[in-house]
Amino acid sequence: MPARVSIFVTCIVDQVFPRVGMAMAEVLERAGYQVEFREDQTCCGQPAFNTGYREDARKVAGHFIRVFRDAEFIVVPSGSCASMITHHFFDLFPKGSSQYEETEYLAPRVIEFSRFLTEVAKVDDVGARFEGIVTYHDSCHALRELRIKEGPRRLLRKVRGLELREMSAAEECCGFGGTFSVKFPEVSGGMGRTKLDSILATGASTVVSIDSSCLMQLQGVFSRAGAPLKTMHLAEVLASR
Amino acid sequence: MLMKPEQEEQIRRTVDNPKIQLAVYSATARLKEKREEAVASEALPEYQELRTQANRIKKHTLENLDVYLEEFEANVEAHGGKVIYARNGAEVADFILGLARERGVRMLVKSKSMTTEEIHLNQRLEHHHLEAVETDLGEYIIQLAHDRPYHIVAPAVHMTRQDVADVFEKNLADPRTEEPEKQAMIARRNLREKFLAAGIGISGANFLVADSGAVCIVENEGNARLTTTAPPIHIAVAGLEKMIPRARDLAVFLKLLGRSGTGQLLTVYTSFLSGPRRGREADGPGEFYVVLMDNGRTRLLADAEKRQSLYCIRCGACLNACPVYRKIGGHNYPGAYSGPIGAIITPQYEGIAKDPWLPFASSLCGACAEVCPVKIDIPKILLDLRKEVVEDRAVHGGGFVERKAFQMYGWLMRRPKLYAMAGRIAAKMARLPGAASIGPAAKWGSVREVTLPARKSFRDQWREREKSK
Amino acid sequence: MTPREEIFDRVRKALGRKPGEKPAPVPEPRIRIPEIPPERRVALFAGRLEALGGKVYRAAGLAQVREIAAGILEGAAAVCSTDPLLEKAGIPGLTGVAGGFQDEPSLRAACALAPFGITGADYGLAETGTIVTRSASEARLISLLPPAHIAVLPLSRLLTGLDEFYTVLPKPADASSSTVFITGPSRSADIEMILVRGVHGPRVIHVIVVDEEHATNR
């Protein structure tokens, strides 16, 4: 068991949801890990990559590689950013380039937070307590690129006081989609509202996910609709006592 | 601007139209559910294996397409049919018009074909006073309404029975009815006359089978069978990419197509047609033609990665799975193909500059790739096309502000100290009055509340925490 | 260049191939024929077809085929194909049944008016509830124009499914210009996703499965 893990908090958690990063660090420490935060970290490059700016994305990805090249484990509180690194860095660098090879070395060490707990640390019960009815939103990249589906649910079921209810549209996109959300606001907002209907039908008061960007989208839609729903990152729920 | 303001307005109107939203959402939900049941591991344990095989067979066929075209042509001719090559839609129309003129044909019937939709064949024929009657129930309604198909497998999915009653009342002599059953019988009666009088039947092809010189057509109503049986001439119009090597490959594709499209194990009719009627056969067309059309396909073929766009078997599963299609519907996509497959095919057929917004109209959720029976990696192609749009705009202009913003991003994200400082400034600026009314924040805020950046970033909090240890 | 030459040229350029260049080996499709004993096949076939709104009957011999057909027809007019099996069963002799059409115009006229079309079936596919008719033995219009279709399927021709069909008949075009799989009655859901039967083809399909042992011994 590695005693030490490095965390890549992602730019959105760093700038918008620092509490998610703090919660993740806390849960990891409680699980017995020494947590390291490398201050030179910034972003994975996904915003540029997904919008078609490969050159700019490549530069940012190169920076990520330089910062984390010698880390043993890099834990990420986002399925989407983790997948950018483990899947799409390979689309950025030509096969045989040093950065491609470095990505080959790095990719297996970059692990989404819930997967790190269930598959590396092998803990389902982190000793959390949270009172309330919760529904879990499958973020698309975690679900379809990383194949993360059961792990987060297993962790949630072990939380004392928490009741997990499935929504019918758990696997449907929240509508965020990065720059899609501002290029096509009506469509993005409409997708969020469809999701809201499905969430409301469960009677849950809190929506949990492993991606802060989805939660930002959903919270924005809930607030605009005046829906009495809260969004929480899985790390926040697991850090609750 | 990626999109014209009127296109944006049109999309807004669709999203805000509760009638359309309900019709499309419930129809796609139903199709989605039926597909899921049909491919569930209890129902079809070999589903994933079949997908992999279908992908491999399509890949192989396209990689060796010249060989299969030759084989197909030889076999069609051996059975007494004829293969015509058309570089574009105009050549397809020219062939049909020429043949109609020679045979004195004034009216022809058509069964559902996305390929002829793609080249606006009906308009081309009607322009030369050749009447072309659509015979699929949905397509018939659409044609009478002068509308465009909304969905690859359910063309009139956006119309209610009242809409259909209006269209029939305006165009047909039958008494008005709002019962779908009776409406279908009105169509049956009216079209039956057309089938029996038409001089030519035009069909599409779901598959072109090289070792048999055959076209394979799947359908539920029987209109494709009538189109290819009753008139004395049958013309099948198909894109080059519809080729598969052998009849037995259909054992793979037919199991996937019906299930993916509508959840059916097989559609009601699967016709396997090769050549005109033979010596002892009692009926069937006396002449049989297959028009093989390029219309941009060979351009796609040249790109080894994006070539997979041509694997598509037009099941429509990606439309039903796509949250964007389900919001904006079929008519906001330019071209004949809507949904995720349209978003990758149309820009490749017509060039990315024509509708540069198309590849961006996706949240990249990946639901399309997950349901695709031939495993087309649609999100990957969307990403590649986005890259091409960005590169094209860098050369031909457009997108200046965004390009500069991402250059700045690429620069800043390699300078952690500056990035941290910029973050601190941004957190303050975001709280200034009026900040929410500019740029992306305004777009974001137009439909949902804005979450402000934290007053203190993670890195600043972390530093404090480490110090206090 | 003719369109043909140009298209071949474009294709070969796109693929980097030369004329006459041999193709790479083609991947084999997955063909696996399940073992289903005949009686289970009939049950499977009937279950599938009935779920789609079709009707399945079991006849011990050709005499019974005739009885069942007569029961379905109830004296109504029908067009009958030239399938020898139907003749052996005496179907053309039933009241109102017309058969033996050799020329297309009279066949077409009869099919356009008759409430029933009666054909044989070259094969059946149990897994999907499908019957297969081929133009070499069955006129196409008989199973298409009349509003109801009766098909007689010898049990020995009831295959398990698609995989067995393509094993038995890997080149369906060799002997017949048309091979059609018919899986239930004609249907459409184009208006509000509401199922309507008999849009263009028959709204009713009856399949009589006959034990051929008896059929040939007769």
Per-residue pLDDT reduced to its tens digit, A134-182: 999 999 999 999 999 999 999 999 999 999 999 999 999 999 999 999 9
Q: What is the pLDDT of residue C102?
A: 81
The DSSP code for B433 is: T
B181 part of a folded domain: yes
Q: Is the distance from CB of A15 to CB of B453 less than 8 angstroms?
A: yes
Do residue A18 and residue B456 have CB atoms under 8 angstroms apart? Answer: yes
Do residue A182 and residue B324 have CB atoms under 8 angstroms apart? Answer: no
Going A141 to A143 to A144 to A146, the CA torsion angle's sign is: positive
Q: State the Cα–Cα distance between residues B145 and C44, nearest whole angstrom.
A: 43
B165 part of a folded domain: yes
Give φ, ψ of C55 to 5 degrees: -125, 135
Q: State the Cα–Cα distance between residues C72 and C77, nearest whole angstrom.
A: 11
pLDDT higher than threshold 70 for residue B109: yes
The DSSP code for B247 is: G
Q: Is the distance from CB of A126 to CB of A117 less than 8 angstroms?
A: yes
Q: What is the pLDDT of residue C218?
A: 33
Q: Which residues 415-444 of B are in CB contact (within 8 Å) with A?
A: 416, 419, 423, 426-427, 440, 443-444
Which residue type does C54 have? G
Q: Tens digits of per-residue pLDDT, C16-38? A: 999 989 988 999 998 999 999 99
Domain match, B103 and B250 both: yes
Domain match, B412 and B264 both: no
Domains and CATH numbers, chain C: 34-217 (3.40.50.10420)
The encoded tokens of residue A181 equal: 């959300």
Among residues B264, B282, B298, the one where a domain terminates is: B298
Q: What is the mean pLDDT of residues B425-452?
A: 92
Q: Is the distance from CB of B412 to CB of B96 less than 8 angstroms?
A: no
- Which residue in the set C4, C135, C182 is minimally distant from B268, CB to CB? C182
Number of separate domains in chain B: 2
Least confident interval from A18-27, B437-446, C127-136: B437-446
Q: How far is CA C96 from its chain centroid?
A: 23
Q: What is the mean pLDDT of residues A190-209?
A: 97
User: B275 pLDDT band (50/70/90 cuts)?
Assistant: very high
Domain match, B283 and B425 both: no
Q: Is the distance from CB of A170 to CB of A199 less than 8 angstroms?
A: no
Q: Is the distance from CB of B151 to CB of B319 less than 8 angstroms?
A: yes
Average pLDDT, chain B: 96
Going B118 to B123 to B125 to B130, the CA torsion angle's sign is: positive
Considering only CA atoms, which of A181, A201, A227, A142 is closest in space to residue B324?
Answer: A181
Q: In sequence order, which residues have a C-beta less than 8 Å from that of residue B24 and are 6 or more positions away?
A: B150, B157, B158, B326, B329
B365 part of a folded domain: no
Q: What is the pLDDT of residue C217?
A: 38
Which chain B residues have a beta carbon less than 8 Å from that of C189?
Answer: 154, 220, 262
The DSSP code for C24 is: P
Q: What is the mean pLDDT of residues C114-128?
A: 97
Among residues B298, B318, B337, the one where a domain terminates is: B298
Q: State the Cα–Cα distance between residues B255 and A103, nearest whole angstrom.
A: 39
Q: Tens digits of per-residue pLDDT, B129-164? A: 999 999 999 999 999 999 999 999 999 999 999 999
The encoded tokens of residue C62 equal: 């050709």
Q: In sequence order, which residues have a C-beta less than 8 Å from that of residue B451 and are 6 or more positions away?
A: A16, A216, A219, A220
pLDDT higher than threshold 70 for residue B341: yes
Question: Which of A28, A56, A80 has the most B C-beta neighbours within 10 Å, making it the best mutation to test the interface with B?
Answer: A56
Give φ, ψ of A160 to 5 degrees: -65, 135
Strands C204-210 and C97-99, sheet pairing = unpaired
Q: In sequence order, which residues have a C-beta less than 8 Å from that of residue C6 and are 6 or more positions away?
A: B87
pLDDT higher than threshold 70 for residue B217: yes
pLDDT higher than threshold 60 for residue A1: no
- Which residue in the set B60, B180, B298 is minimally distant from C14, CB to CB? B298
Considering only CA atoms, which of B267, B210, B271 is closest in space to residue B244?
Answer: B210
Least confident interval from A112-121, A131-140, C135-144: C135-144
pLDDT higher than threshold 80 for residue B399: yes
- Which residue in the set B360, B383, B412 is minimally distant from A180, CB to CB? B360
Question: Which of C4, C26, C133 has the most B C-beta neighbours within 10 Å, making it the best mutation to test the interface with B?
Answer: C26
3-state secondary structure (DSSP) of residue A232: strand
B443 part of a folded domain: yes
Q: What is the pLDDT of residue A85?
A: 98
pLDDT higher than threshold 60 for residue A209: yes
- Report the Cα–Cα distance between both ends of chain C, in Å, rounded: 64
Q: Tens digits of per-residue pLDDT, B43-99? A: 999 999 999 999 999 999 999 999 999 999 999 999 999 999 999 999 999 999 999
B425 part of a folded domain: yes
Q: State the Cα–Cα distance between residues B93 and B241, nearest whole angstrom.
A: 19
How far away is chain B from the Cα of C102, in angstroms, using its nearest Cα?
Answer: 6
Q: Tens digits of per-residue pLDDT, C201-216? A: 999 999 999 997 544 4
Q: Is B391 exposed, middle or buried (0-12, 13-18, 19+ CB in 10 A)?
A: middle
Q: Is the distance from CB of B304 to CB of C15 less than 8 angstroms?
A: no
B377 part of a folded domain: no
pLDDT higher than threshold 90 for residue C92: yes
Domain with CATH 3.40.50.11810 in chain A: 124-239
pLDDT higher than threshold 90 for residue B297: yes
Architecture of domain A124-239: 3-Layer(aba) Sandwich (3.40)
User: B3 pLDDT band (50/70/90 cuts)?
Assistant: confident
- Give the domain extent around B458: 400-467
Q: State the Cα–Cα distance between residues C140 and C132, nearest whole angstrom.
A: 11
- Please report, for the domain that includes residue B30, its CATH number: 3.40.50.10420
Q: State the Cα–Cα distance between residues C90 and B184, nearest whole angstrom.
A: 36
Q: Which chains are within 8 Å of A by 3+ CB pairs?
A: B
B36 part of a folded domain: yes
Q: State the Cα–Cα distance between residues B352 and B347, nearest whole angstrom.
A: 5
Considering only CA atoms, which of B202, B207, B1 is closest in space to residue B117?
Answer: B202
Q: State the Cα–Cα distance between residues C155 and C136, nearest whole angstrom.
A: 20
Cα atoms found within 13 Å of the Cα of residue A130, Cβ hemisphere only: 29
Q: Which residues 4-33 of B are in CB contact (within 8 Å) with A?
A: 11-12, 15-16, 25
Q: How far is CA C40 from its chain centroid?
A: 20
pTM, 2 dp: 0.96
Q: What is the pLDDT of residue A110?
A: 98
- Which residue in the set B423, B440, B449 is minimally distant from A224, CB to CB? B449
Which chain C residues have a beta carbon less than 8 Å from that of B330?
Answer: none
Do residue C190 and residue B252 have CB atoms under 8 angstroms apart? Answer: no
- C-alpha torsion angle, residues C143, C144, C146, C148 (rounded to 10): 60
- For residue B386, CA distances in Å to A92, B347, B380, B389, B394 come to 14, 10, 10, 5, 12
Among residues B277, B298, B319, the one where a domain terminates is: B298
Q: Which residue of B has its CA nearest to A218?
A: B448
